[in-house]
């Protein structure tokens, strides 16, 4: 049996970027048997999973199941109308929730999650928080926090779905008030970590060291430490993504290798870890690819999708020069900082002033364009054409980013950081991939180029956008990249690894 130890936010928006969630999906589609163990109570997690087309309670063991306290017949989350509020409490609706007023004074606030249900209700005392009730996705209060005048937590209560107080938490520790079904081994605990350890020991009681494995995301420090402190002999596989690797100290890397096997998603990281221990690092990319070709062959327009975390003004100017020469080329740029959207607009306006002698900002809105002198009218048309071919984005939703990728002719990644999820999407569409970061989805010279400087970017534009044969060859090469990272291939790699380390 494969046990995944998971920890997600209640309203996770980026599960597709989560390595453990992606691997669970791969195992599920490949019919590899597994269990998901969630040591924490995470309300509304099933809603987040359902959004991504996945939730099978038969595979999931949550701490709530262990406590056997939240097996409620209520299955609907709480709504504002369902709250038991006094008749003299007035509701004032706002963008961030509902403000509660009582006798002309602020009495509390109802907050909602992204699904539109009540997530918490705050009650105020003299304008400060006094009490916060947290609601589960089954519609009952599962926790109440009490805060002092400065907003510091003084005490918390945990409840069952029947309103029975199971435990109360103070600075000195946790007291068990109602030992439901005798599941707690102690009457008091120093912290929740002790309860989590107890839960893991019970859940993994049938762990077979000959055949079973525990898989955990190495970026989840609390879970990693939790497993290290559980008094059991476990076979642990750490999923180590490139971003987490870059943030770890050498001592932390050595600890992971000493405690278990490590699966990485790039050859570079595999080589670096091999310096500390050989034979315990395994390369299996996280995100599977599938043939999902784009539509750029159906239009004359050649759109470049470009991700950057820092704006290089000189490179942007040279890119505008290229777009000016190639009137079929357009730019869809996603920046990493909101302020860069405004900076890009300034660069565009500055470029148009310098090259066309035109300032659209200074033009009279009531100006009759058709009455302009012919020569000026021509310049206005060319400048407007260029401006309309430059789109700048920040924080693109996943579906919008994918739509841009599907329509693009070329992808450029100048973020300089691990970007494996997007690289997998791009490889699946068959786009030439130009990047300063080497992922397993980029084969230099085959389906794209690994670059270093701004000059390389312009050369890549010329190579792939001006010669259809070069673009077509990259598309052909992409097919082998897609096959090498398909869900079938990745699941086979996992089966092979699980077999080898169990021998």
Identify the pLDDT of residue 67: 72
More confident residue, 402 or 150: 402
Would you tell me how many other CB atoms lie within 10 Å of the CB of residue 275?
10
Confidence check: pLDDT of 367 > 70: no
The verdict on residue 494 lying in a domain is no
Confidence check: pLDDT of 364 > 70: no
Let me know whether 99 and 155 are in one domain. yes
pLDDT-derived band of residue 418, with 50, 70 and 90 as boundaries? Answer: very high
The Cβ-side half-sphere exposure at 234, using a 13 Å CA radius, reads 28
pLDDT-derived band of residue 78, with 50, 70 and 90 as boundaries? Answer: very high
| Cα–Cα dist 247/503, whole Å | 33
More confident residue, 164 or 143: 143
Residue of 323, 375, 326, 329 whose CA lies nearest to 352: 323
The verdict on residue 11 lying in a domain is yes
Backbone angles phi, psi at 422, to 5 degrees: -65, -40
Let me know whether 277 and 355 are in one domain. no
pLDDT-derived band of residue 358, with 50, 70 and 90 as boundaries? Answer: confident
Identify the pLDDT of residue 179: 79
pLDDT in tens, 130-155: 899 999 988 999 999 999 888 889 99
Q: Please report, rounded to a whole number, the percentage of residues in the chain having pLDDT higher than 70.
A: 95
Task: Report residue 129 as tokens.
Answer: 């928080």
The verdict on residue 207 lying in a domain is yes
Let me know whether 118 and 47 are in one domain. no
Let me know whether 211 and 170 are in one domain. no
Confidence check: pLDDT of 469 > 80: yes
Let me know whether 164 and 264 are in one domain. no
The verdict on residue 107 lying in a domain is yes
Let me know whether 335 and 261 are in one domain. no
Identify the pLDDT of residue 374: 74
The verdict on residue 499 lying in a domain is no
Average pLDDT over residues 367-381: 70
The verdict on residue 492 lying in a domain is no
The verdict on residue 236 lying in a domain is yes
* Alpha helices by DSSP H, 159-298: 192-203, 221-229, 242-247, 250-259, 267-274
Phi/psi region, residue 116 (left: phi>0; alpha: psi -120 to 50; beta: rest), is: left
Identify the pLDDT of residue 448: 97
Average pLDDT over residues 87-96: 92
Q: Which residue range(s) make up the domain with 151?
A: 80-182
Confidence check: pLDDT of 465 > 90: yes
More confident residue, 291 or 95: 291
Question: In the sheet that 188-189 helps form, which strands lie side by side, from edge to edge?
Answer: 89-94, 97-102, 105-112, 118-125, 128-135, 141-147, 153-159, 165-170, 173-176, 188-189
CATH number at 417 reads: 3.40.50.2000
Q: Is the dihedral of CA 441, 420, 482, 392 positive or negative?
A: negative
Confidence check: pLDDT of 62 > 90: no
Q: Please report, rounded to a whole number, the percentage of residues in the chain having pLDDT higher than 90.
A: 69
Identify the pLDDT of residue 370: 57
pLDDT in tens, 195-228: 999 999 989 999 999 899 999 999 999 999 999 8
Identify the pLDDT of residue 345: 94
Q: Is the dihedral of CA 141, 143, 148, 149 positive or negative?
A: negative
User: Helix or strand or coil: residue 92?
Assistant: strand
The verdict on residue 191 lying in a domain is no
The overall average pLDDT reported for the chain is: 90
| Cα–Cα dist 14/481, whole Å | 25
Confidence check: pLDDT of 467 > 60: yes
Q: What is the count of structural domains for the chain?
A: 3
Identify the pLDDT of residue 70: 56
Let me know whether 312 and 432 are in one domain. yes
Confidence check: pLDDT of 71 > 70: no
- What residues are paired with 219 via a beta bridge? none
Task: Report residue 482 as tokens.
Answer: 């897609």
User: Are residues 197 and 185 in contact, defined by beta-carbon separation less than 8 angstroms?
Assistant: no
Confidence check: pLDDT of 32 > 80: yes
User: Helix or strand or coil: residue 320?
Assistant: helix
């Amino acid at each position: 049996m494969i046990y995944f130890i998971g920890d997600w936010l209640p309203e996770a928006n980026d599960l597709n970027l989560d390595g453990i969630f992606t691997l669970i999906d791969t195992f599920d589609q490949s019919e590899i048997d597994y269990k998901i163990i969630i040591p924490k109570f995470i309300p509304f997690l099933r809603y987040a999973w359902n959004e991504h087309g996945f939730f099978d309670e038969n595979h999931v063991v949550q701490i709530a199941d262990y406590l056997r306290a939240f097996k409620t017949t209520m299955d609907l989350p709480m709504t504002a109308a369902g709250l038991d509020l006094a008749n003299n409490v007035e509701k004032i609706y706002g963008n961030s929730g509902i403000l509660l007023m009582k006798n002309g004074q602020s009495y509390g606030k109802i907050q909602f999650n992204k699904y539109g249900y009540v997530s918490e209700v705050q009650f105020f005392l003299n304008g400060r928080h006094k009490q916060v009730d947290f609601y589960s996705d089954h519609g009952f209060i599962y926790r109440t926090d009490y805060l002092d005048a400065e907003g510091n937590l003084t005490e918390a209560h945990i409840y069952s779905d029947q309103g029975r107080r199971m435990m109360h938490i103070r600075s000195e520790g946790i007291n068990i008030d109602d030992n439901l079904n005798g599941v707690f081994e102690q009457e008091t605990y120093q912290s929740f970590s002790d309860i989590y350890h107890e839960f893991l020991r019970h859940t993994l009681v049938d762990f077979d060291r000959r055949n079973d494995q525990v898989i955990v995301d190495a970026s989840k420090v609390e879970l990693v430490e939790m497993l290290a402190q559980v008094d059991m002999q476990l076979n642990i596989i750490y999923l180590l993504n490139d971003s987490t690797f870059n943030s770890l100290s050498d001592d932390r890397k050595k600890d992971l290798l000493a405690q278990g096997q490590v699966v990485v998603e790039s050859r570079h990281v595999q080589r670096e870890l091999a310096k500390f221990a050989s034979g315990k690092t395994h390369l299996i990319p996280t995100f599977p690819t599938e043939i999902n070709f784009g539509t750029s062959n159906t239009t004359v327009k050649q759109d470049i999708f470009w991700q950057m975390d820092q704006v290089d003004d000189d490179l942007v100017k040279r890119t505008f020069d290229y777009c000016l020469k190639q009137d079929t080329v357009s730019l869809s740029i996603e920046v990493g900082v909101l302020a860069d959207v405004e900076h890009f607009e300034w660069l565009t306006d500055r470029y148009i002033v310098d090259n066309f002698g035109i300032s659209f900002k200074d033009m009279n809105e009531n100006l009759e364009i058709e009455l302009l002198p012919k020569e000026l009218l021509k310049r206005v048309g060319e400048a407007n054409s260029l401006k309309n071919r430059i789109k700048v984005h920040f924080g693109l939703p996943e579906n919008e980013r994918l739509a841009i990728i599907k329509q693009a002719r070329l992808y450029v990644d100048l973020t300089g950081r691990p970007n494996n999820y997007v690289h997998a999407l791009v490889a699946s569409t068959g786009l030439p991939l130009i990047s300063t970061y080497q992922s397993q989805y980029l084969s230099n010279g085959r389906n794209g180029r690994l670059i270093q400087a701004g000059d390389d970017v312009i050369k890549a534009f010329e190579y792939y956008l001006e010669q259809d044969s070069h673009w077509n060859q990259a598309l052909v090469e992409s097919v082998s990249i897609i096959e090498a990272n398909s869900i079938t291939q990745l699941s086979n790699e996992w089966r092979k690894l699980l077999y080898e380390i169990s021998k």
